[in-house]
Amino acid sequence: MKIKVAKFGGTSMADAQAITRSADIVKADPARRYVVVSAPGKRFSQDIKVTDLLYECYHKLEMDGNFDSSFEKIRERFMVIADELRPDLDMEACLDEVREGMYKYGSIEYFASRGEYLSGRIMAAHLGFAFVDASEVIVFTAGGEFDAASTRAKLKKKLSGVKYAVIPGFYGADESGLIHTFSRGGSDITGALIAEAINAELYENWTDVNGFLTADPRIVEHPAGIKELSYRELRELAYMGANVLHPESIFPVRAGGIPINIRNTFEPDNKGTMIVPEITDSRKGTITGVAGKKGYSIIYIEKSMMNSEIGFARKVLSVLEYYNIGFEHMPSGIDTLSIVVADSEIAGRESVLLDKIQKTVNPDHVDIKNGISLIATVGHGMSFKPGTAAKLCTALATAGVNIRMIDQGSSEMNIIVGVATEDYEKAVRAIYKEFE
């Protein structure tokens, strides 16, 4: 029998109506045997996600030693869902168990994980599926590092004896039972791990959009949908801000060659975006999509004869390593080196960073240029079309946008430009118009 893993995001679990829709999707296809759920998300624009309410409880505990007033918001939210769905579940007892555990264990990761846990209990009871606690099958080390091999073994063993199950996303546990979590949005990773472990035919990721778009609809009016993406294209677009899928969730399914289907819970007839190992369709356009992020700076270093100074770049990067600063890109010239870093990495440390670089490599000039945004233009077709970079640069020049940095990956599948943040939206629209 073919097996599909269906993961439902926060909006798909936001209230009783959304959960009913999600359950109907599962029941429509018997191959959807394993269901992964997120914590309830926003029901409306001004609403608060359950995970954020749980973080609020944790901070209340830190400050006041008591979070009962904040926990009542969570209790009310889940009781409303339970009252409407009437699952075969004692919701009050589940909530009491969670509250007691939060006081007992007291770690921020335990608090953060309880939204998924409660969602899983409700969905399992509503569907009549077995509930498999992620703490039993998603393994972390005592230091909080994810253990892929142990997770794979536990998932295979556990799920081989369970035909239909609901598993909460986002968290797991170490050997002592201490809860650990993935980064925010990590339920996508849980779903991918399960799909890989059981060699699923397909990993479906149900959310509130019809898959990936060729550009941000808040910037470009009515951008086209993307029917098919490769794993590599997905990584590029997701990393650069196309936040439909957690960028780390690609690795487990890529290892197993399992396709991912991004679908819309609220428009289930839309086929969404299929993410596959290799592109099989014939595309008319050169690019697949445009994505970007704000909030970057460029560390600009200039020194005569830099190119002949062995180890110069290594010494500069050793300064970043010393301050535990990651970098995004490092384009260079004969006498210049530019290092693109996120503003959050260097906030409050600009002066000491510049001073350390000055003492380490004695440059002629070093400074930090703030207010940079990065835009990635991504697509397999770029590597076969001469003049792609020229078209991109011409489009930006015509729009009056100055390029502060440009970098093309060795795969020739993406071109990343840095522009002033005030030009970001204008630049995205110019690139989209030129290629789409």
Burial zone of 205 (CB within 10 Å; 0-12 exposed, 13-18 middle, 19+ buried): buried
Whether 59 is in a domain gets the answer yes
Query: What would the pLDDT profile of 64-105 be if each residue is shown by its tens digit?
Result: 999 999 999 999 999 999 999 999 999 999 999 999 999 999
Same-domain status, 263 and 316: no
- CATH code of 295's domain: 3.30.2130.10
Mean pLDDT of 300-321: 94
Cβ contact 235:250 at 8 Å: yes
- Which region among 136-150, 241-255, 304-318 has the lowest average model confidence (pLDDT)? 241-255
Q: Looking at the 3D structure of the chain, how many domains does it have?
A: 2
Question: What pLDDT, on the 0 to 100 scale, is given for residue 256?
Answer: 86
Average pLDDT taken over every residue of the chain: 93
Cβ contact 130:164 at 8 Å: yes
CA-wise closest residue to 263 among 50, 22, 86: 22
Quick one: angle between helices 68-85 and 108-127, nearest 10? 10
CA-wise closest residue to 340 among 403, 411, 267, 410: 403
Check pLDDT > 90 for residue 176.
Answer: yes
Mean pLDDT of 371-379: 92
Mean pLDDT of 290-312: 94
- Domain finish residue from 276, 304, 336: 276
Residue labelled with tokens 């409303």: 80
Same-domain status, 309 and 189: no
Check pLDDT > 80 for residue 57.
Answer: yes
Residue 241 confidence class, pLDDT cut points 50, 70, 90 = confident
- Please tell me which residue, 200 or 248, carries the higher pLDDT value: 200
Query: What would the pLDDT profile of 348-364 be if each residue is shown by its tens digit?
Result: 999 999 999 999 999 99
Range of the domain at 141: 4-276
Question: What pLDDT, on the 0 to 100 scale, is given for residue 283?
Answer: 54
- Domain finish residue from 243, 276, 309: 276
DSSP states of 279-300: --S--SSS-SEEEEEEEEEEEE
Taking the model in full, what pTM does it have? Answer: 0.86
- Percentage of the chain with pLDDT > 70? 97
Query: What would the pLDDT profile of 151-173 be if each residue is shown by its tens digit?
Result: 999 999 999 999 999 999 999 99
Question: What pLDDT, on the 0 to 100 scale, is given for residue 244?
Answer: 81
